[in-house]
Structure 1
């Protein structure tokens, strides 16, 4: 919960910042510029939120599955990782995470923004896009994101495992070994659970985001 809250906060703040920087004089953002803003948001998210939380989570899961677990919960596990490996221990796999999050946000925000603008132009004048439509658009954005970025997610997970150093020199070596030893389809292993998660999270997060923005705007006008 803490990790996802932080990730969502950094993601949307960063995206809004980059989007306003790249908007034209009318305040509109083209698809290529939305892609660039999403890429930047993903990079910020990877550095400030995703890499530490994902690394710790992955290590705790792998440790719990081992015959002799050494971590006793989140706080103890984090302290031990930092003590044994330094701060670099929670930033292992930063490059694949940046690639994955950059691609995730670029694809997700571009898909969502493009579809939402398409729907908005077909709504009656003065009527906003309903929350049900927003949820559906967010879910579609999640679906597109999963199938386009799944290989990066597989590489990221492998690089953050406890045994990564024993098997892979870097992210490119990891990708090469997966491709040559396990086949191309291995990059899409685990698509279904991630698909369900990202479709639901995409629908929920974008719906909540749009409604919170409306609420804030309404209070500012009232004030």
Structure 2
């Protein structure tokens, strides 16, 4: 039997592998989702995809990829390591045995705590990713003879580290957590609607109560859980994206409530579901890849 200590390390390592895989798979649609939610004049998902490809080529879909890929080790280690530690602790406190299978209430509590903890690292990572993704073709040309646009309108970031330093210089350390409140509203219930459906679907897809789920079942359960989680989290995700894409020199929103009221006033209730179809489509392959890579990696690491 593997010790608790190695099990915790297994969760961290497997979370890194699963997270890295899911970022590569889901980043192109994540870029489309961010552009749609920030309200930059795209008619719909198809128009956004065509516009990005026409103006920025295929590379436009991978803007901001290096930063989430580089930081995915810490973030997904935190998410999966924290979730499994919290689940074990809850089982130990409730039943006196951390190895006892967790019930749905236990999984829900552990996942909501995970959502709360994940914002500490996830908010700065997401902010930098979105700021880099929002550097459109026009911004790239800003300040050149090819474009009359002033560089002040589009603060150019040379990369993730320059983006972080620019945000801290202009907005201070709290600037890295812009949109953090909306992220809490998204991730606390969002992780509950991520891990709970995954556990339910895995149980439903098992051949019998004692067997382990087949890799195909893990893939399907993870994909369905991801689609459910991301679609239900879309309203909070829209608010978070708008706050994080809000340029410091041309700020439109004073906070979460102001963003909600202004968005509703100018664009109606439908604005909070902008990008829902992208989230549903993107959520499936990302989460399917995430959970499958995580579970297979965990099985591999536990052999040592």
* Length-normalised TM-score, structure 2: 0.65
Structure showing greater relative contact order (alpha-carbon pairs closer than 8 Å, 6 or more residues apart): 2
| CA deviation string 1:89-134 (max 9, x = no partner) | 21111111122122221110011112213333x4274x32111110
Instruction: Mark the runs of 5 or more structure 2 residues left unpaired by the alignment.
Output: 1-68, 143-150
Indicate whether 1:44 and 2:130 are aligned.
no
Indicate whether 1:179 and 2:264 are aligned.
yes
Indicate whether 1:102 and 2:188 are aligned.
yes
Give the root-mean-square deviation of aligned CA atoms.
2.1
Structure 1 residues 157 and 210, CA gap change in structure 2 (3 angstroms): same
Instruction: Mark the runs of 5 or more structure 1 residues left unpaired by the alignment.
Output: none
Which of the residues 15, 37, 40 maps onto 2:83?
Answer: 15
Indicate whether 1:4 and 2:72 are aligned.
yes
Residues in 1 aligned to 2:74 and 2:232: alpha-carbon distance in whole angstroms = 24
Spell out the pairing of 1:10-159 with structure 2 (5 A cutoff). 10-23=78-91, 24-25=94-95, 27-48=100-121, 50-64=122-136, 65-66=138-139, 67=142, 68=151, 69-120=155-206, 122-123=207-208, 125=210, 127-159=211-243
Residues in 2 aligned to 1:53 and 1:211: alpha-carbon distance in whole angstroms = 26
Contact 1:62 1:162 in 2 (8 A): no
State how many pairs are aligned: 216
Residues in 1 aligned to 2:288 and 2:225: alpha-carbon distance in whole angstroms = 8
Partner of 2:75, secondary structure, is helix
Residues in 1 aligned to 2:226 and 2:209: alpha-carbon distance in whole angstroms = 27
Residues in 2 aligned to 1:191 and 1:5: alpha-carbon distance in whole angstroms = 27
Spell out the pairing of 1:192-203 with structure 2 (5 A cutoff). 192-203=277-288
